[in-house]
Structure formats: structure tokens, C-alpha cells
A and B are shown apart, each in its own frame.
Chain A
Amino acid sequence: MNSLVSATASQRGIPAWLNVVLVALFISFTAVQASEIKGLVSDASTDEPLIGANVYIQGTIAGGATDSDGYFSFEYDFEGEVTLVASYVGYKLYSQTVSSSDDLTRLSLKLAKDVFQSEEVVVTGIANKRSKAVAEVAVSRVSASELTDKTNYSSLNQLLNGKVAGVQVRSSSGNIGSGYRFIVRSGGGLNGQGQPVVYIDGIRVENAQMQGEGTFSAGGQRMSTLADLNPDDIESVEVLKGPAAASTYGTNGSNGVVLITTKKGRVSSDPRGSMDVNYKFTSGTNSQSFEYSEEDFVSANDANNIFITGTLRQHNLNISGGNNFIKYYTSFEDRFEEGHILNTWQDRQNFRANIDVIPHEKLNFSVNAGFSQSDAERPQNDNNTLGWLGNTLLFANSYRFTDSTSIANFDDAWETNRFLGGFQASYRPIAGLEARASLGIDNSGTRQDETRPSNLPFSGVVNGERVIWNRDNNQVTADFNVNYNYSLGSRIKATSIVGTQLFDQTLTTNNFSAQNFDTELITEIGAGVDLIAKGETKIHSKTAGIFTDHSLSFDETYFATLGIRNDFASSVGLDAPSIFYPHVSFAARLDQMGIMPGIFNLFKLRAAYGEAGILPEPTDAILRLWEAESGGHGGGAVLSSIGNIEIQPEKVKEFEIGFDTEIFSNYSLEFTYYLQSAEESIIDFNNAPSSGETASPVPFNIGKIEGSGFETLLQGAPVRTRNFQIGFNLVNAYQTNEVVDLGGAQPIFDGFDVNVTKEGLPNHEFYIEDVVGALFDTDGSYLGPELTEDRVALGNPVPDYNGSFSLNITLMRNLNIYGLVDWATGHKVYNNTRRFSVRFGNDPLVNRLRYQLGLSSTPPEGEENLAQFVVGSSEYNAAAVELANNDGNVQSNFIEDGDFFKFREISVNYSLRDLLKNFNYNRYVRDIVIGVSGRNLWTATKYSGADPEVNWRGARSLSRGQDFLTLQNPRSFNVYVQLGF
């Protein structure tokens, strides 16, 4: 006999309106005599009380949360025995059978630390959730809220980088709001941009970067569409890293799926009221992390002088609470951050409201809604004569292209408003059967507004220019699935799922550019005499999938899942079939078989195979498209796109095998080895120019690429006492890939002809003619570098190995110290900045060599007594070889080792919680945390440039690992204070 009890709601100070709601919702339920259940929840090792732990009666919604002293109290009417369950993030689930005849007012529930997070329920498919202890696929879970409590993250990439084995997240520049690239395992297929699909609370959100309009779009950098997210709203992030786990996500799941869960309301831990209020203020700085040297650049001082100390201030307020029937979380963020040079900043406001309603044991609803507004400024850098770096690193005499006042006055302003909202409902009409439906919207509007000052000496912009670019993205995700749990005999449990997923995206843009303003006082675009550019685009695309998934578990020891998804997409050719993506996975808990030594709390072997795909571009399936080009003769038809009516998605297959183990309750190790193979990869064939069909390459499903790698995560908590705790995470990953087949196509190069997609080489390999020596004429004079006859492979911009090590130390209960270092090895960077600096005479070494060889008549400044070598002498010949290896016309001279080791994150904070309690101030303030944090504190690298992680062409281009006047990532320091009420 179970019944719902709402007895303590009013006692806990729930607002009157909530009471009205609750009464209205549950009018039919009548409270009867109830037993009071009270007790303490604490850490089994340290006896530290656990604040905010959930305690509930299994199979009901009756329960409560622990207060700031770890105590819980709720009422429940029952007779006989029930199971009392306690859960807390990072701890193993605790359960205890209690009887109505017991004394239930002095319970002590001791929870054991869950090092492996084996009890955490993780997503293992689009409609599949299970605990990590029985998951058949590798799933990484990042407890984001624990990280954001410690340190300040500007964006999702900072939050995730170094936290997930097999996933790197690299910002393409130090611009605030810069685009970033996920590097997932060995890269999946050849097509697309190698990026995972990102969901927030079940809503598929746009993971793209925005180029905008204007001069080369600021030289190459793009803005991330995820830059407006507030990392402090994120509770956790789960990452499915490839088709083996993400197959049920179907098309576009081949590079994995990132599942972000935002914070939710919890049953209040405060007996005085129903809400927890947290306020955090952060103040910080961004500054130059790498200083240019006069040994590398004649103009180093000018380059160093462009850097400033940018400031950060952030207010975060969140209010959460609720009871067993309704829970809410709402937050507001106000953040202003300046970069470490002028013209880069972001001013961001975020509002979020998450509401969960459980009107009945069989039914729950949730609504998640976020609205963000952000203003940002993008600097001019990269391949750009209008930028700070282009004017201070290329020539010995700085600001040769553009004067510093004009650069400072260059305004590339971005404004984005975004609504992210979703509704989910779950209904369990009978035991074991659950139907879930969700609908989500990601709607964003962006306006880029570029104003160029007058007298800018480039491309005729002599009287000012305005560029306006508007972008609206509207995407809708709808899911419906039915999940049925049942038994096949006493030893086999089964789960069957059928479901469907629909996705609809409409992306529109329009732009205007006007020049020649007769007054600087009016910048309205209509005041420009010449409307030099205008345009509009609209792309509407849809995908739909239907899937079924069947899982069996035998004695909770052996597990197997078999499923398939059938996908449809508007960008697939009319002559192409719908696509099927199967998957199968197995796991076995060896620790349950009694064959493992007792030190193993858990030892699970697992293996999985899955397929997923990458969609063609939206118009790839249309044979020929024409656009109107509005020239001097009027708007005429010119070819714009050449497609293939048979085009299909690229199919990516993945097999992974691994194990998860927990030893001595203090250590856990996860290991996964994977093989990836992509077939029917879409290779863009360039037509011969003489065909006249060069408006776009033609896509064909003919390519193939294979990859493999492994990833490990070692976690440990070797010391756990009340006053001293140490925990660590060690992440390691290796990856490699090889392009197997291009179907006869020529190698595909990036715009600078250095990165290649070529059979027999890793994708994106640097592939250039290399210097083998120096050439001399008959009298011994230096002629130039001697090159290899053909291009040669010179390494790859994607690291072979990467990893991180993080350490958490707690001293005196309340002092927390956290640090993370990360590294990447086995990769190269193209230092195009130095190459052009050499070519333009700004490299001291090359200037000296040229003088010594008699190629320049002017000695370098400050070296007027430098001797010139005699032609044919050994010094002359050695200098010639050195010059050949630094010749600015040879790209291979600038491929450098990019290996690095970074002291990436540190934070130290102190909680005054105990102090407040001792002085009884906790009646007013539950907790005060004061902390400092830092980012990018120190880097060790052989790379001679500023930052081996950046890429001048943004985060989605064929160009990879190319540093070309690209802004380094900043060094950041923050101080913060957090108040809990």
C-alpha cells in the first residue's frame, strides 16, 4: 500500500503559488497518517556529511534531500518493508530495506565513493540509458558542474578539453567567441567537418561556425555558434565517440554525439525554505601568453606592444528548488570579457529556466528553456593586411599596410540572440513500458555589422565601408520512442525500443555592403554611395530516422544489444536508397562470475560494432544549379553548383573493444581500442577547367579511409580522509588514420596547397616538396634551395598522442586545490607567419644569412661589422645550406614540431561553510567560497610560433594546423566569490 504524501511542503516554506499548483494537481490524493523518516547521509570513508543527497523510497516519488548538515527528513505512510535509496553524484547508490516497525528517525546512510561512476546512468543510444557498470559501449561523462564550481570557463571547448579520452577540443584562435574544432578519435570519415552532433537536453543544437561577410571574413577566423552557451548552466556532458555507440543517432552521428545536460532543480536541502540561491561573482584578466622575441622577429617589440590586459567580469545567479512534484532551476548570467588585444570582446547574458513536473508516478514532464543575448567584437588577424598581427609581424617597419588607428577603429561587431527550448514528456502506463516524446527548438538570429574607417588603404575603401550580414537559423528536433522492459524467464531481462527522430533546419542569410560615405557622422548603410555587395541564401533541409533496439541481460552478468536505424534525408539523391545503420554490442561482468580476484569491485569486458553516416551537402544531389550574378550587364545566369543525383551519405563503421574496471574501490581504469572504416566517402571531383564546370566539385561516393586508436582513463582517489583527500584523472589517447582510396581522384589540397587528402597518407598530412640542400653555380655562388623532385609527407597536424593529468586535493576539509596539465605529441604545425616574415625581411636569421652570402648589401641593423663570406668557403657553403632550409619560398621549411605540454588549468578555493556554521551565520548564508583560478599558465613546446593549437582558417576548413598571423590563446587569471543562500 503506497500513497503519496505532501505533508512537509508548507512547512518548508514553499511559495503559496506552488501550493496552489500542488493542491490543484493532487487534489485527488489524500494524505493519511505518515511515518517520519529522518537520518544522516555521509561519506563512508570520511564521514563527511553529503549535502543535497536524494533519499527516497524505491518505486515512489516520496523522498527528500539532505540539508547543509547532511540530514534528511520526510514522511511516508507504509506498512511492512520498503527499500530506502540514497543517491549522490559521484557516489554509489545506497539502498537499505526498512520496516515500518523500525525506528526510522535516526538512520545513518553511508555512501561509498564511486570512482568509476559505475552507478551513473549514461546515455548509450538515442533512447537507451543504463548505468556505466553495464554499458556495452565506451561513454565518457564529464561532471561539468564540479568543474565550473572550481574554475571559470568561457565556453564549452574550454570545459571539455582534456577531460574526455579520445576527444580534443581546440579553439582556432585566441579571439573571444572563436570557433573550435572537436577532434574525435581517428576522425571518422573523410567527409563533413569531422564534428560531433551536439544535443542540449535532447535538443539538437547548431554546432557550426559563422564566417560572416567583409574582408576575407577577418582573415579566416569564424565565430562559434556555441559561444553563447553558459558553461555554468551545464550539469554534465556525455560523449559518445563514434558509430559503435552513436549508431542510433544515424546520419551525422559518425563523429560522435555530445550530450549536454543542464542543471535541474533538486528537492531543497534547506529546511527553512524551498529554494537554493547561489550567486557567483568572477573577475579576471586575459593577457599575452607568448612573448615574441627579437631573435625571431625584427619587429618583435611592436608585436608585443599590441597586447593588452583584457578584463573579465561575470555575475552568475541561480535559484533552484522544488519538491517531489515539481522542481525548478533558473539562472541568469551576465558576462563581459575582453581579449588580450583590442577589438575582441564579448558581452553575454544568459537566462535559463528548467522545470520538471511529476504529476503522477506514471507521468512526468519537463520544460527546458534558455535565452541568450551576446554582443561580440571580432578582431582582424590571420591572412589579412588589416589586422594587428599582419601589421606587426611581417615587416621590420610595422603598420606598413594599415596604421594602428585605422586597425583600432575597424569594427566587426556581432550580435546573437538565441532561444533554446524543449519539452519532454514521459508516460509509463504499465510496469516496464515507457513512452517518451520530446520537441525542441534551437532558434538563433545573428547580425554582423562591420564598419571600416575612412581612408583605409585597401581595395578602394577610401571613404568608409559598412557590411551588414544577417543570419537566422531555425531547427526543430522531434523524438518519439517507446521503451519496454520485460523478462524472459527468471534470468533474462530484456528491453525493446522502437522510436523515430525528425530534424528540420532552415538557415537563411542576407548581406549588404556599401562604400563611400560622404560623412563619418552618418554610418547608416543607405548613406553609402555604392552598394558593392548584396545577397541572400536559404537552405531548408530535413532528416528523419526510425530505429529499433533490443537488449538482453543474463543474470546481470552478460549483456547484449542489437539494433538498426533507417534514415532519410533531403540532401540524399533522389536516386539513392534510404540508409540502414545497424549496431550490435556485448558486455560481460567478469567480477560477477566469481573468477576475478577480490580486489576487483568491477571488471567488465565489452565490444561493440556500429555504423553511422555523414550527410552530403544540402544541394549535392542536384545535378546543376545556376545563380544570378549581378554585374555590369545585369543579373545573368552563371553556374553555381554541380551535383550528383545518386549521392548518398558516407557510411562510417566502427568496432570497439575494451574493459572497465574498479580496483580497491579507489581506482578505476577504462580502456578502449577501436577500428574505424569509412566507405562510400564522398570525394569531390574537380572537373577539368576546360569543361567549364568548375563552379563546384562534383561529389561521388567512392572514397575510403581507415583509422584506429586507443584511449584510457585512469581515475584514482588514493587518500580520502576527513581533512585530506587526493584524487586524480589520467587521460591518454592514441589515434592514426590512412586514406585508403580516393576512387581515382587527384589528391585534395587545402587553399595553401600544404594539407592533403591522399591515398596512403593520414588525412590532412602536410605534403610538400622538401629542401635537400643548396644549389650552387659553377663559381660556387648560392643559387637557391635544392628541392625533392616530388612532394613528400612531412607529418600531420592531428596529434598521434594526447592526454591530460588532473589532480584534486582537499586540505583541512574546505581548501580545494585543482590543476590540469595536458599534452599532445606526434604532430606538426605550419608556421606560415614565420614564412611570410622571412619573405618580407623581418627574420633576423635570414637577414643575416642573406648579408653573409652577399645576397643583400645592407647588414642587419646593429650588426654593421658582420663579415661577408667568401664564395666557395666552408662558411659560405654552410650558410647557403642554412638559408636554403629557411628559404621563405619553400613551404616545407616552415613545417615544425607542434608537440606541447601545457599547464592548462589551476584553481584554489576555500569554503567558509564550517566557519559560518560555527558562528551560526549559516542561518543567513549557507556557504561562501572564495577562489582563484588560472588558465594557460605555462607551455613547453618546440614550436617557434606563438601557439601550436591555433589554425588561421578557423575550425572547419581543409586547412589544418596552420598558424598564419593567428592570435594566440590568452593566459587567464580569475578570482571569484560564491555565495550560497
Chain B
Amino acid sequence: MNKILMILSLFLVLGILGSCEDFVQDIDPLIDEVDDELLNDPAQVPFIVKGLQQRFATSAGRVAMLADGLADMLFFDQDLPLATFPSYKEIDEGDIQLDNNTVDGIYNDIGELIFFSDGLLERLDQMDGLTDDVRAEAEYASNFYSGMGRYFLGSYFGLTETQGGGPIDVGPFIPTAQLYAEAIDKLNAALAQAPDTTAERVVNSLIARIYLYSGDYSNAAAFAANGMKDIDEPFVALHNVEWTNRYYQQAGNGRVQWVVDFRFNDYVTADPAEAARIPLREEEGTSMTIYYVQDKYTARESSYEVFTWQENHLILAELAIRNGTGDGLAEVNAVRASYGIGALSSLTLEDLMVEREKTLFCTGNRLIDQRRSGTFHLPSGSWEYLPITQQERNINPNL
């Protein structure tokens, strides 16, 4: 009897053994995540493209705010009650540790932006039933954001304090000039598939900006000539209340860790009309000192200004001075007039740089202008770029 029962029990347990694997694999699907392979579907292209736009949005304003902090536009002062991040202090002082976790975050995001963008092109090859329209939409987005990712990497990151650039896909270090060249190639590819003329003008302006920063004034002029016009709305990265504008969040109404250099208030004091392009509000420090906070991005969902027709005019103005062609003063005065500010009577390169810092207030361009004009304000040996992170240096064998 007992032997029979033992044998029966053994069979029962062995039967369970056979079904154990099936039991554990029979689980409910995830609801908040999707397997990579399921995205190889033309119907998912808009979802993927929005992912590129989203990563662009989380990268663009964020790196711009840090660049303005490293530049002489914003500064960090612990006299402000909520200014507590040591990582911001390092950036402000240009004494940036390689494991600065604020830099980690934005560097990772830009890596994702490039990976997502380049990955979309590869994914298209695995899709069946892809229509030309969908392919064009995907290729435009892929090239555009891949180009912008390379531009961010080349403009804001460096291997050493003064050597700009960065690696892509665990490759060797790519200097800024080469990254800019790759960015231009990508943007040119996007240009060929731009969905409309407005998009074409935006891409042209962005290419012009990169040529300008590369010192290629001839090509810069060619693209700027076909860039944004005063009929164009600013090209922006969109935020919402959930994924907020970083200037608002850390240098504005959300929390004040960064404040604006006092000279910007001097500009407004000297000419109150400047408040239209340098919107400021006051913030009192613990010592009762009055500081000035950017009031350009006032809400969580404020869009970050990537490019405006005014910047295109300023590029044209600079190229007019540098190339000796065109009417730079007229371009600048058109920009000033758009803010209700009186005209200038003359224009030098130095004047233009002042116009740029006022017009491109809180857009992340000031750091690049300081570098290319040789006016970087921190002592020699300070970081003029955000450093390629310790994590990249540890893992990337090609660095």
C-alpha cells in the first residue's frame, strides 16, 4: 500500500515537474513596457519619432542651461536658499569632477538621442510594408535628430578642459570639427526629406549655425541665406507639465539655483526696452542681496527656444562683418526692432557679440561665443566644456 502511494506521489510530482516550465512562462504581459521587436512595425514609426522628439526636448534645454552656467550668463550662489547642488557649483566654477552626476545625466541623454536616431534608420530595414511617406518621415526625423545630437556633443562636451568633442557608440574620441561635419551631413540628409519649406528653413539655419561655429563663413552664409525668416515662429523643443523646461525647473520659477549675471540687469536698467529680450525678475538671497532670475521660461511647459529667425539674422550680420558682404547693421536693427528696441547706428564684431548674448539669452549659445571669441571668463585650466564623463572613460576602450 505504502509503496503504491509513494509511487503515485512520485508520478504526481514528476507530472508537476514537467509542467513547471510552462507554469513559470505563463505570465501576464507587461503594460508599461514593450519588447524591442514589437516596434519593427510601420504603425509604430510615429511612436518612435515622438521618442526622438522627446529625447531631443529633454536634452536641448538641459544642456543649454548647464552651458549658460559654465559660461558667464548664469551663476550659482549658495546665498540663494535653494541653491544646494554641489554639481552645479563645480560647473559654475569650471572645476568639474569627471563623476559630476549632473553632467552624467545630460551626457547619457545625448547618447540616447544619437542612438535612438541612428537606430531608427536601422529599424526601417526590418520593417515590412513600409510606405514611402512613412519612410520619409522616419528618415527625416532620424537624420535631423542624429545631426542635432552630434552638434550638442561637439559643442558642449570635451575630452580635456579645452578639447571639444566626444565619442559615438563606444568609438574613439571625435573632435568637435569632425562632429560638426557629421552633424552637417545628417542635417543635409534631413534637408532632402524636409516635410515643408518651414522645416527646410529651420534646417538651413541650423546648418548655418554649425558652419559659423566651425569658422566656415562661406558655407554659413550660403545656408543662412536660406534660413529662417521673420515670418517663422521659433523652432522650439516642447515641454509639458510632466517633462518640464529645465530653465524653469532649476533657474526660474520652479527653483532658483542659477541666477543671471548682473550685467544683464545693467542692460535692462540702461534701456528698459531690453526687458523684452532679457526678461528678468528679482530674487532675494539670504544676505538680502538682490539677484536676477531669468523670466523667459516662466512655466513648467514653457518651450525651449532652439532657433529663431532673429538668430539667423544675427548670423547673417556676423557673416556680413566677417565676409565683408551684406548689411550687418540692418540685420541687427531688424532683430532689435522685433523687440521694440531702438536701432544701432554702427556695428562692430564686439557689438555683435553683445547683441548675440542679449538676443540669445538663455539658449546655450553664449558658451560657444565665449570660446570662439576668446573671451572665456574663467581662469586658465578651467573646463570650457562639460567633461566626457568618468563612466564613459571607464568603459570606452577607445578613449
Contact = CB atoms under 8 A, between A and B. Distances in A.
B286 interface: yes
B112 interface: yes
A625 B35 contact: yes
Interface string A535-565: 1111111111110100000000000000000
Interface stretch (B53-61, B328-336, B368-376): B53-61
B349 to A, nearest CB: 36
Contacts of A545: 20
B115 interface: yes
Interface in A510-552: 515, 530-546, 548
A632 B112 contact: no
Contacts of B248: 460
A694 B20 contact: no
B396 to A, nearest CB: 4
B47 A639 contact: no
Interface stretch (A73-81, A429-437, A953-961): A429-437
Given A570-B27, A625-B30, A631-B238, A637 B300 contact: no
Nearest to B53: A633
Given A638-B116, A689-B108, A690-B392, A532 B242 contact: yes
Given A401-B82, A499-B13, A688 B54 contact: no
Contacts of A457: 81-82
Contact of A484 (B6, B34, B392): B6
B325 interface: no
Given A631-B239, A636-B53, A538 B28 contact: yes
Contacts of B249: 459-460
B2 A636 contact: no
A291 interface: no
B99 interface: yes
Contacts of B169: 690-692
A629 B78 CA distance: 33
Given A532-B242, A632-B240, A695-B112, A690 B396 contact: yes
A105 interface: no
A622 B23 CA distance: 18
Given A637-B48, A638-B116, A625 B17 contact: no
Interface in B232-250: 237-244, 248-249
A867 to B, nearest CB: 26
A482 B12 CA distance: 10
Given A385-B82, A460-B253, A690-B166, A638 B24 contact: no
Interface residue tally of chain A, by bracket?
A: 35 or more
A835 to B, nearest CB: 10
A853 B34 CA distance: 60
B5 A429 contact: yes
A513 to B, nearest CB: 9
Contact of A619 (B28, B30, B166, B395): B30
B170 A690 contact: yes
B13 A500 contact: yes
Interface in A740-787: 746, 751, 753
Interface in A862-906: 889
B111 A692 contact: yes
B231 interface: no
Contact of A640 (B33, B50, B301): B33
A498 interface: yes
Interface string B89-121: 000000000010100100110011111100100
Given A543-B24, A638-B116, A536 B31 contact: yes
B43 to A, nearest CB: 12
Interface of B is mostly: helix
Q: Quick one: which of B1, B112, B169 has the most chain A CB within 10 A? A: B112
Nearest to A435: B9
A689 B389 contact: yes
A544 B23 contact: yes
Interface in A452-488: 457-460, 462, 480, 482, 484, 486
A498 B24 contact: no
A48 interface: no
B255 interface: yes
A401 B81 contact: yes
A594 interface: no
B179 to A, nearest CB: 12
A122 B308 CA distance: 76
A502 interface: yes
Contacts of A482: 5-6, 9, 13
A414 interface: no
B5 A433 contact: yes
A694 B111 contact: yes
Nearest to B106: A689
A578 interface: yes
Contact of A570 (B10, B17, B25, B108): B25
Q: Which of A460, A545, A638, A689 has the most CB of B within 10 A?
A: A689
B237 A632 contact: yes
A637 B50 contact: yes
A541 B24 CA distance: 7
Contacts of A484: 2, 6
A546 B20 contact: yes
B5 A568 contact: no
B44 A625 contact: no
Contacts of A625: 30, 33-36
A498 B50 contact: no
A639 B82 contact: no
B33 A691 contact: no
A506 B28 contact: yes
A538 B30 contact: yes
A83 interface: no
A627 interface: yes
Nearest to A690: B167
A430 B17 CA distance: 26
B391 A753 contact: no
Given A385-B82, A500-B17, A631-B58, A626 B254 contact: no
Contacts of A537: 31-32
Contacts of B242: 531-534, 630-631
B49 interface: yes
Contacts of A634: 50, 53-54
B138 interface: no
Contacts of B240: 630-632
A597 interface: no
A530 B240 CA distance: 9
A140 to B, nearest CB: 30
Contacts of B112: 638-639, 692, 694-695
B170 A691 contact: yes
A435 B10 CA distance: 12
Contacts of B9: 435, 482, 498
A530 B81 contact: no
A532 B31 contact: no
A478 B395 CA distance: 45
Contacts of A499: 13
Given A400-B286, A499-B13, A692-B115, A542 B57 contact: no
A459 B50 contact: no
B23 A542 contact: yes
A624 interface: yes
A433 B47 contact: no
A686 interface: yes
Nearest to A841: B78
Interface in B142-169: 166-169
19 contacts: A385-B82, A459-B249, A460-B248, A460-B249, A500-B17, A530-B241, A538-B31, A568-B24, A570-B24, A619-B30, A624-B35, A625-B30, A627-B32, A632-B54, A636-B47, A690-B114, A690-B168, A692-B119, A751-B101
Interface of A: 385, 397, 400-401, 429-430, 432-433, 435, 457-460, 462, 480, 482, 484, 486, 496, 498-500, 502, 506, 515, 530-546, 548, 566, 568-570, 572, 578, 619, 622-641, 686-695, 746, 751, 753, 839-840, 889
What are the nearest 3 A-B pairs in CB distance?
A692-B115, A632-B238, A636-B50
